[in-house]
Amino acid sequence: MWYHQFTFFDKQAGLSALPEENYFIGPLTEEEMKLCPEFSMANDETIPPVLHWPAEFLQLLQYSNGGGIINGQREFGFFSLQEIRYYYLAYGFVQWAPCFLPIAFNGGGKFYAYDFRDWENLRLVAVSSGDLSDESAVYLGKSLEEVLGKTGNIEDELDLLYPIAEPSEKAKRNVEINQELRALKERKNKGEIELKLYLQIKRKLEEEIKQLQ
């Protein structure tokens, strides 16, 4: 089977029986309603009917109902049958990204999820638990074998979506001035500079900070 090529850091007993096909779109239980009170009336009209069990993931659950796979920096802590529906409701997928089915965490708050927006071309995406939306997802691959065959942390791929902006010249200079002020104060405290000269330099640096703002 495809998953035998990977290293499991967490192996559980496999599923003994396959879940029903309508497992995801069935009516919410009383406990599940508490997970998403804004959607306490959620039913098959709010949970997309396209959600289903991909064959490859069912195969994985039959081998280990929840567990973990590691490949280099790529950690895949996949959910059990019961946990998947829980995460879908408790983390707000039903509200913010209803066509994403969360199946695993990377160990740092980032989800692996199946993207059912185009159910004929199913794919896997990465999305942050703190920013659930279609726009914030990053494509990972078309199959678990492809996705888990890579060794990089999926956080690196999400970072490419929101690269850290290069600080402006004003911001850089502001940092430099604050460093100069701290060094100047240390020199004054050590008696290495006269008070009059200290105040003159300090006033000049503070004036420059005002001009940068």
pLDDT digits (tens, 9 = 90+) for 145-167: 999 999 999 988 888 765 545 56
Predicted pLDDT of residue 96: 86
Q: Please report the pLDDT score of residue 50 as a whole number.
A: 85
Structure tokens at 55: 């064959």
User: Is residue 126 scored above 80 in pLDDT?
Assistant: yes
Question: How high is the pLDDT of residue 139?
Answer: 93
pLDDT value of residue 185? 84
Whole-Å CA distances, 31 to 10, 28, 45, 109: 28, 8, 19, 24
Do the Cβ atoms of 81 and 17 come closer than 8 Å?
Answer: no
The radius of gyration of the chain's CA atoms, rounded to the nearest angstrom, is 26
Residue 40 has pLDDT above 80, yes or no: no
Backbone torsion region of residue 152, taken as left when φ is above 0, otherwise alpha when ψ lies between -120 and 50, otherwise beta = beta
Mean confidence (pLDDT) of the chain:
85
The pLDDT value recorded for residue 157 is 85
Q: Give the whole-angstrom CA distance, residue 89 versus residue 23.
A: 13
Rounded to 10 degrees, what is the CA torsion of 79, 84, 87, 93? 130
Task: Tell me if 141 sits within 8 A of 123, measured CB to CB.
Answer: yes
Sign of CA dihedral 86, 89, 91, 97: positive
Percent share of the chain, pLDDT over 70: 92
pLDDT in tens, 44-70: 456 788 888 899 999 999 999 999 999
Of 23-27, 84-88, 176-180, 196-200, the least confident: 23-27
Q: Which one-letter amino acid corresponds to residue 16?
A: S
